[in-house]
Amino acid sequence: MALTLAEASKLSNDVLVQGVVETIVKESPVLQVMPFIEIVGNGLTYNQENTLPGIDFYDVGDSWSESTPTFNQKTANLKIMGGDADVDNFIKATRSNIQDLEAAVIELKAKALKDKFEDTFIYGNAAVNAKQFDGIRKLIDTGTASAQVIAAGASGATLTPGMLDQLIDSIRGGKPDLLLMSRRSRRKINALVRAAGGMMETDRDKWGNFVQYWDGVPIGVSDWVLDSHVVSGSLETTTTGGACSTIYALQMGEGALCGLSSPGFVTVEPIGSLETKDANRNRIKWYVSLALFSAIKAAALIGVQD
């Protein structure tokens, strides 16, 4: 069974770990909705549906033909994310608020972990850096023509409402759970709605944050989606040096886009006193990866210009 990171934290009695997970989740539109599957081992091999078997009509006495489905076999290996958080013993001895001080250091490290995950969630590429997992840009493969890659124009174009509708329609088996985009793209959507004389549908999530919706799909804003992509020939060629952005439509779940994690999810490991400096260390770590079980559960609208 897949659990969201917030739900998994309820299974932990470690108050410090719960605080770390809450810090990570409440500031990340991705982690708020994406479930994680706990796996035993260092990776998961799965079959991604490619083509369905054929079906036909037959007369009495006809010879029946056989056809089989085809699959693309994928492997997602867990990668090690984390960092050390040190608290100086002099500060411990000369400040009375020791626990609050340690919690503040852990919280900052947790925010850095969240930022690194969100950046890798989008742009991770194991072929470029084997220590990373593949992000959604690589899983969707925006550099290759497919039904899941929608180009705003051969070299980019201004966003229109029809483009967003086409992006949502490219997700099969239900609507996407999230439209992930940059702040610039979100501003453009707001401008389009206001120009049409309307207002964006809004609501609050469980953390009290305002969330906007397009056609009933929540809009997630990520500071890690760049507005500098280059689009040529209706395909993305690079992520820097241009003036285009990308909007991702993502359906989350065990049969769609899902996170992978070792049992325990995010852990805080007390390392203790250090030999080379007068400080105490905690290590935050997460064995994590990403899997897209069905290609039609994720899509990208590329070439979105200001």
Q: What is the CATH number of the domain that holds 28?
A: 3.30.2400.20
Q: What is the pLDDT of residue 105?
A: 80
Ranges of the chain whose pLDDT falls below 70: 1-23, 95-100, 207
The answer on 277 and 221 residing in a single domain is: no
The answer on 151 and 117 residing in a single domain is: no
The answer on 241 and 121 residing in a single domain is: no
Tell whether 65 is covered by a domain: no
Looking at the structure of the chain, the number of domains it has is 2
SS3 content of the chain, % helix, strand, coil (to 5): 25, 35, 40
The answer on 147 and 104 residing in a single domain is: no
The answer on 261 and 234 residing in a single domain is: no
Q: What pLDDT digit, counting tens, does each position of 63-72 carry?
A: 999 988 888 8
Tell whether 240 is covered by a domain: yes
Q: What pLDDT digit, counting tens, does each position of 129-149 carry?
A: 999 999 999 999 998 889 999
Q: Decide if 257 contacts 148 (C-beta within 8 A).
A: no
The answer on 101 and 213 residing in a single domain is: no
> Residue 65: what are its φ and ψ, rounded to 5°?
-105, 145
Q: What is the pLDDT of residue 251?
A: 97
Q: What is the pLDDT of residue 246?
A: 97
Q: What is the pLDDT of residue 188?
A: 95
Tell whether 30 is covered by a domain: yes
Task: Report in angstroms the alpha-carbon separations of 263 from 1, 11, 37, 78, 287.
Answer: 12, 11, 9, 12, 9
Q: 45: exposed, middle or buried (C-beta count within 10 Å: 0-12, 13-18, 19+)?
A: exposed
Report the first-to-last Cα separation within the chain, whole angstroms. Answer: 41
Q: What is the pLDDT of residue 217?
A: 94
Q: Decide if 228 contacts 302 (C-beta within 8 A).
A: no
d(CA 136, CA 113): 18
The answer on 177 and 34 residing in a single domain is: no
Q: What is the pLDDT of residue 1?
A: 45
The answer on 6 and 107 residing in a single domain is: yes
The answer on 122 and 248 residing in a single domain is: no
Letter string b/e over residues 158-175, b meaning 16 or more CB atoms within 10 A of that residue's CB: ebeeebbeebbebbeeee
**Global model pTM greater than 0.95:** no
